[in-house]
Structure 1
Amino acid sequence: MEKRSVPKEWEIKKLDDYIVAGEIELSRGNVISKKDIANNPGPNPIYSSSIHNDALFGTYGDYMFDEELITWSVDGGGNFFYRPKHKFSVTNVSGILRANTKKFNYHFLAYLLELEHRKFHFDYQTKAHPSVIRKLYFITRPPLLEQQKIAEILETLDKEIEQTTQIIVATEKMQMGLMQHLFTHGIGHLKFQKTEIGEIPKEWKVERLDKVARVERGKFSNRPRNDPKFYGGDIPFIQTGDVVRSGGRIKKYSQTLNEDGLAISRKFSKGTIVLTIAANIGDTGILEFDSCFPDSLVGITVNNDMDNIFLEYFMRTRKVYLNSIATQSAQKNINLQKLEPMLVVKPGLKEQREIAVILTSVDEKISVNERLKAGLTLLKRGLMQDLLSGKKRTV
Structure 2
Amino acid sequence: MVNKTLSQTILSGWQMKQIKDLLSYERPDKYIVESEKYINNGTPVLTANKSFILGYTDEKDGIYNDVPAIIFDDFTTDSKFVDFSFKVKSSAIKILKERNNQTDIRFIYEKMKSINFPTGSHKRYYISQYQNMEVVVPPLPEQKKIAEILGTVDDEIRKTDEVIVATEKLKRGLMQQLFTRGIGHTKFKKTEIGEIPEGWIISKLSEVAKVERGKFSHRPRNAPEFYGGDIPFIQTGDVVDSNGKISSYTQTLNEKGLSVSKLFRKGTIVITIAANIGDTGILQFDSCFPDSLVGITPSEKIDAVFLEYYLRTKKEYLNSISTQSAQKNINLEKLNPLLVVLPAKDEQQKIAEIMSSIDEKISINQKLKGRLTFLKKGLMQDLLSGRVRANI
8 Å CA contact 1:12, 1:140 repeated in 2 = yes
Deviation at residue 260 of structure 1 after TM alignment: 4.1
SS at match of 1:321: helix
The aligned counterpart of 1:341 is: 337
1:174 aligns with 170
Choose from 185, 189, 193 the match for 1:193.
189
Q: Does 1:206 align with 2:205?
A: no
Aligned 8 A contact 1:235 1:256 in 2 = yes
Residues 48-105 of structure 1 show CA distances to partners (whole Å, capped at 9, x for unaligned) of 35312x2536645543744343223344x47420123635335134444343142321
Q: What are the Cα deviations for residues 103-140 of structure 1, in whole angstroms up to 9, with x where unaligned? A: 32111111121122xx35546x57672234446x5422
Q: Is the 8 A contact 2:77 2:125 kept in 1?
A: no
SS of equivalent to 1:37? coil
Q: Does 1:319 align with 2:315?
A: yes
Q: Does 1:12 align with 2:16?
A: yes
* 2:305 match: 309
User: Which of 325, 346, 349 does residue 350 from structure 1 map onto?
Assistant: 346
Which string of whole-angstrom CA distances, capped at 9 and with x for unpartnered residues, describes residues 176-234 of structure 1?
A: 22232322233344433222112222222111111111112223445665555544332
| Structure 1 residue 314 displacement after superposition | 0.9
Q: Separation in 1 of the partners of 2:64 and 2:184?
A: 57
Say whether the 8 Å CA contact 2:209–2:299 is kept in structure 1.
Answer: yes
Classify 1:149/1:300 alpha carbon distance in 2 versus 1 (closer, same or farther; 3 Å): same
Q: 1:175 to 1:44 in 2, by over 3 A?
A: closer
Q: Give 1:115's aligned residue.
A: 114
Distance 1:178 1:65, change over 3 A: closer
- The residue identity in structure 2 corresponding to 1:153 is I
Report the Cα distance in structure 1 between the residues aligned to 2:129 and 2:210, rounded to whole angstroms.
57
Q: Normalised by the size of structure 2, how large is the TM-score?
A: 0.85
Q: State the shift of 1:28 in Å.
A: 6.2
Q: Distance in 1 between matches of 2:165 and 2:38?
A: 33
| 1:50 aligned partner | 49
Deviations along 1:310-361, one digit per CA (max 9) or x if unpaired, are 1011112212222221224443222221111110011232332222222222
1:104 equivalenced with 2:103 (yes/no): yes
User: What one-letter code is carried by the residue in structure 2 that aligns with 1:372?
Assistant: L
Instruction: Please tell me whether the aligned partners of residues 48 and 57 of structure 1 are also in contact (alpha carbons under 8 angstroms).
Output: no
State the match for 1:255 in structure 2: 251
Cα distance between partner residues in 1 of 2:191 and 2:318: 19
The alignment partner of 1:389 has SS state of coil
Match of 2:377, SS state, is helix
Match of 1:50, SS?
coil
8 A contact 2:32–2:62 mirrored in 1: no
Secondary structure at the residue paired with 1:276? strand
2:215 is aligned with 1:215: no
The unaligned stretches of length 5 or more in structure 2 are none
Return the offset for 1:308. Answer: 0.6
Distance 1:195 1:255, change over 3 A: same
| Partner Cα separation in structure 1 for residue 113 and residue 227 of structure 2 | 38
Equivalent pair of 1:184/1:200 in contact (CA under 8 Å): yes
Instruction: Output the amino acid matched with 1:100.
Output: R
**SS of corresponding position for 1:294:** coil
- Alignment-derived partner of residue 144 in structure 1: 140
- The answer as to whether partners of 1:203 and 1:347 remain within 8 angstroms in 2 is yes
Q: Is the 8 A contact 1:30 1:90 kept in 2?
A: no
What amino acid is the match of 1:392?
A: V
Q: Deviations over 1:14-42 (max 9, x none)?
A: xxx343xx4334676559999x4269999
CA contact (8 A) 2:38 2:56 kept: no
The CA distance in 2 between the partners of 1:144 and 1:185, in whole Å, is 60
Q: Secondary structure at the match of 2:96?
A: strand
CA contact (8 A) 1:221 1:264 kept: yes
Cα distance in 1 for partners of 2:298, 2:147 equals 53
- 2:66 and 2:74 mapped to 1: Cα distance? 21
Task: Give distance in 1, aligned partners of 2:282 and 2:182.
Answer: 22
Residues 182 and 108 of structure 1: CA distance in aligned 2, closer, same or farther (over 3 Å): same
| Contact kept in structure 2, 1:50 and 1:56, CA below 8 Å | no
Change (3 A) 1:255 1:80: farther
**What letter is aligned with 1:148?**
K
CA distance in 2, matches of 1:223, 1:154: 54
TM-score by length of 1: 0.84
SS in 1 for 2:278: strand
1:234 matched to 2:233? The reply is no
Kept in 2: contact 1:44–1:89 (CA 8 A): no
Aligned to 1:389: 385
Residue in structure 2 matched with residue 365 of structure 1 by the alignment: 361
User: 1: distance between equivalents of 2:78 and 2:357?
Assistant: 35
- Where in structure 2 are the equivalents of 1:156-167 lying within 5 Å? 156-167=152-163
Do 1:51 and 1:78's aligned partners in 2 also have CA atoms closer than 8 Å?
no
- Match of 1:37? 35
Percent identical among aligned pairs is 49
